[in-house]
Structure 1
Amino acid sequence: SLLRIFNTLSNILNRLLLFTYLIVLFYLLVLENSETSSYLEFLEFIKEPVQKQIDSKFLLEKRIQKFKTLLAKLEASERDMV
């Protein structure tokens, strides 16, 4: 239950970061066409935390899957003992 809540919050945060990144990208590409190089540097600066969030979410999902596998093995061995 707590894991599901954490996963949901993580998904919401990732979507918000991606949405913010897309808004900034749209603004820079469509509305503000001058001084593009400094804006591109700014985009790279924003992109880094977003990528870290995506990477950490991937690692979290791998850990959750490993935990579920270990839990299933434990339950199976428990049934075998009974």
Structure 2
Amino acid sequence: MMETAENRLRRLRMRSWRRGTKEMDLILGPYADARLGTLDGPALDRYEALLEENDQDLYLWVSRGEGVPDAHAAALGEVRAFHDLG
């Protein structure tokens, strides 16, 4: 059975808010609430791949903007821009 678009957005929102570290919950949760509904299919795919990464790496990539893997550069750039992190 194929997942509906609505269920996918709900699942991604929940994964954004329930990461395992409070810092990443507070970074990804508000972004997900505000922006997931506006992303197209490929952008959602990139964000979903980003959610597969561990919180320690994500936090360093988002907070410092250094060492970001090319595969996640676009999604992380959007998250950083949302939080005005440069």
- Normalised to the residue count of structure 2, the TM-score between the two structures is 0.28
**Greater share of helix:** 1
Q: Which has the higher contact order (CA 8 A, sep 6+)?
A: 1
Rg bigger for which structure? 1
